[in-house]
Amino acid sequence: GLDMETECLGARELGRTSPAFRSVAGTNIGIGSQALVLFGTEEQKQKWLPGIAAGDYISSFALTEPEAGSDAGSLRTKAVRDGDHYVINGQKTWSTRAVWADWLFGLFRTEPESQRHHGLTFVLLPLNLPGITIRPIRQLNGLPGFAEIFFDNVRVPVENRLGGEGEGWKICMATAGFERGLMLRSPARFQQTARQLVDLYRAHQDSADSDPGVRDAVLKSWMDAEAYALATYRTASRLAKGGQIGAEASTNKIFWSELDLLMHETAMSILGARGELMAHAPDAGDVGHWLDGFLFAQAGPIYAGTNEIQRNIIAERMLGLPRA
The residues annotated as belonging to the active site are 179
Rg over alpha carbons for the chain, rounded to the nearest Å, is: 21
Q: How far lies 298's CA from each of 67, 134, 141, 197, 261, in Å?
A: 22, 24, 11, 18, 7
Q: How far lies 205's CA from each of 58, 212, 214, in Å?
A: 41, 11, 10
The C-alpha atoms of residue 167 and residue 28 are separated, in whole angstroms, by 22
Name the DSSP class of 323.
P
The C-alpha atoms of residue 63 and residue 91 are separated, in whole angstroms, by 10
The C-alpha atoms of residue 75 and residue 68 are separated, in whole angstroms, by 5
The C-alpha atoms of residue 28 and residue 13 are separated, in whole angstroms, by 17
Pair type for strands 103-109 and 85-92: unpaired
Size of the chain, expressed as the number of residues it contains:
324
Instruction: Give the three-state DSSP class for 33.
Output: helix
State which H helix or E strand residue 274 sits in. Answer: none
The CB density around residue 115, as the number of other CB atoms within 10 Å, is 10
Nearest residue to 160 (alpha-carbon basis) of 62, 41, 75 = 41
Instruction: Give the three-state DSSP class for 268.
Output: helix
